[in-house]
Amino acid sequence: MSGNTTKSISINSNHSPEQSEEQELSSESLEPPQSWRSNTATLKIALLVNLARNAPPVHRNAPSDILAELDEDKNVDAYAAAMRARNYEVLIREGNGHLAGWLEKVQPDICFNTCEGFGGESREAQVPAILEMLGIPYTGPTPLAAAITHDKPTTQRILACHGLLVPRFQAFNTPNDVLRPDMVFPLFIKPAHEGTGIGIHNDSIARNEAQLRNKVAQVVADYQQPAMVETYIEGKDITCGLTGNGDDVHFYPITEVDFSGYPHELEPIYGVEQKVDYESYYRNKCPAPLGEALTAEIRRLTHEVFLVTGCRDFARVDFRLTESGQPYILEINGLPGITPFSDLTLMAQAEGLTHADLVCNVLDAALKRYGITKLGLRS
């Protein structure tokens, strides 16, 4: 998930690979409680999470932000509380390699999926792939949509193909790839498939070829993936979120990131320092003062990006907006952060909703899509 998350990451605190299955679980027990089986009237939800404290060991010399997308117990407790407040039965489970057997045992009506994945090129697609294989309903993107939207070059190719405006881009597999002549400085460099500003720092803005090649070399070595190089779009950071499906979607107030609260030495970009290290310095304008026409246009674009990438239930689309009012699409977050402090949560709160309302809106979108009634019975 991308967006503000309250994280303090300690790579050294990772568990060993030999840890027992029970340790890998969050605070909930392995066996479902009696009420899970006996309370047949209510919806049974498996809340699937990836906790930073359960992450497998990362490679030596891994950058300190490598686990920044993983979750914390207190956030997981908030997702569970939102659904339990509706008297649903909720079991919390780590979305790891042991998931399939557990799901077959507990047979939930639906899974609420928040799993970012612990690693791999398509890590957000891993849990959806298990759920698709088992035929269990779940919230959020399919494996295909998750894999596409987690990969910035693939997403941008699809958006460009649909005539949607994205910054000019080139994916670099190595620092020595030939720079296309149409790629004009300043350029922006970020990992091809990360989120939460991971790998995005001041040096992501390159003003000459030496800076570009240095940053590409660092991204490729540290994150073990291609580097996405884009035209640097000077302008405002805008993000627009929705819940729902098809034409039945609800847009939350659009947010503009206000960079004035961050230390002056930080460039006005929404990288990992701004999102995690200086999270408490975050300021925004929500709703962003865009005027009616531009607000409608950003929403229209968000919806189109949501549809063409095949996302489901919720999403957040990030833009850069130039001074002349031209929006460029940076990415879609198919599994956006919904912690109590995430961007999407702040947007929901700006229209008077609570964090619990937002969690339930995501769930409701999925229930409606599957035709599952709130009592856990298929309609």
Ligand X SMILES: Nc1ncnc2c1ncn2[C@@H]1O[C@H](COP(=O)(O)OP(=O)(O)O)[C@@H](O)[C@H]1O
Check residue 230 for interaction with ligand X (CB under 6 A): yes
Which one, 96 or 239, has the nearer CB to ligand X?
A: 239
> In whole angstroms, how close is the CB of 210 to ligand X at the nearest point?
20
Question: Quick one: CA dihedral 162, 163, 164, 169, positive or negative?
Answer: positive
With b for 16 or more beta-carbon neighbours within 10 A and e for fewer, the 188-207 pattern comes to bbbbbbbbbbbbbbeebbbe
Tell me which residue has tokens 């947007």. Answer: 347
Residue with nearest beta carbon to Mg ion? 318
Window 308-327: contact mask with ligand X (x via CB under 6 A) = ----------x-x-------
> In whole angstroms, how close is the CB of 167 to ligand X at the nearest point?
4
Whole-angstrom CA distances from 358 to 108, 280, 371, 377 are: 21, 22, 20, 23
- Two tokens, residue 202: 């001041």
Check residue 233 for interaction with ligand X (CB under 6 A): yes
| Spacing of C-alpha 243 from chain mean position | 14
Specify the stretch interacting with ligand X by CB under 6 A; choose among 25-33, 102-110, 128-136, 226-234. 226-234
> In whole angstroms, how close is the CB of 286 to ligand X at the nearest point?
15
Whole-angstrom CA distances from 331 to 155, 190, 235, 376 are: 7, 12, 16, 34
> In whole angstroms, how close is the CB of 152 to Mg ion at the nearest point?
10
Among 56, 137, 167, 287, binds ligand X (CB under 6 A): 167
- 184 Rama class: left (phi>0) / alpha (psi -120 to 50) / beta: beta
Among 88, 172, 188, 282, binds ligand X (CB under 6 A): 188
Which one, 95 or 337, has the nearer CB to ligand X?
A: 337
The C-alpha angle with vertex 295 and arms to 294 and 299, in degrees rounded to 5, equals 115
Tell me which residue has tokens 């507990």. Answer: 106
Check residue 212 for interaction with ligand X (CB under 6 A): no
Specify the stretch interacting with Mg ion by CB under 5 A; choose among 21-29, 84-92, 312-320, 363-371. 312-320
Binding partner of residue 188 among Mg ion, ligand X, none, CB cut-off 5 to 8 Å per kind: ligand X
How far apart CA 8 and CA 120 sit, in angstroms, is 22
> In whole angstroms, how close is the CB of 84 to Mg ion at the nearest point?
30
Specify the stretch interacting with Mg ion by CB under 5 A; choose among 42-50, 222-230, 318-326, 342-350. 318-326
How far apart CA 52 and CA 74 sit, in angstroms, is 12
- Two tokens, residue 343: 């961007």
> In whole angstroms, how close is the CB of 206 to ligand X at the nearest point?
11
Specify the stretch interacting with Mg ion by CB under 5 A; choose among 29-37, 118-126, 297-305, 315-323. 315-323
Binding partner of residue 230 among Mg ion, ligand X, none, CB cut-off 5 to 8 Å per kind: ligand X
How far apart CA 189 and CA 304 sit, in angstroms, is 26
Which one, 109 or 124, has the nearer CB to ligand X?
A: 124
How far apart CA 25 and CA 373 sit, in angstroms, is 29
Contacting ligand X within 266-285 (CB under 6 A) = 269-271
Among 24, 72, 237, 318, binds Mg ion (CB under 5 A): 318
Check residue 124 for interaction with Mg ion (CB under 5 A): no
> In whole angstroms, how close is the CB of 202 to ligand X at the nearest point?
11
Specify the stretch interacting with ligand X by CB under 6 A; choose among 111-119, 175-183, 189-197, 248-256. 189-197
Contact 97, 117 (CB under 8 A): no
Contact 88, 111 (CB under 8 A): no
Q: Is 146 exposed, middle or buried (0-12, 13-18, 19+ CB in 10 A)?
A: buried
> In whole angstroms, how close is the CB of 239 to Mg ion at the nearest point?
7
How far apart CA 191 and CA 250 sit, in angstroms, is 31
| Residue ranges that bind Mg ion, judged by CB under 5 A | 2, 318
| Residue ranges that bind ligand X, judged by CB under 6 A | 2, 167, 188, 190, 194-198, 200, 230, 232-233, 237, 269-271, 318, 320, 330-331
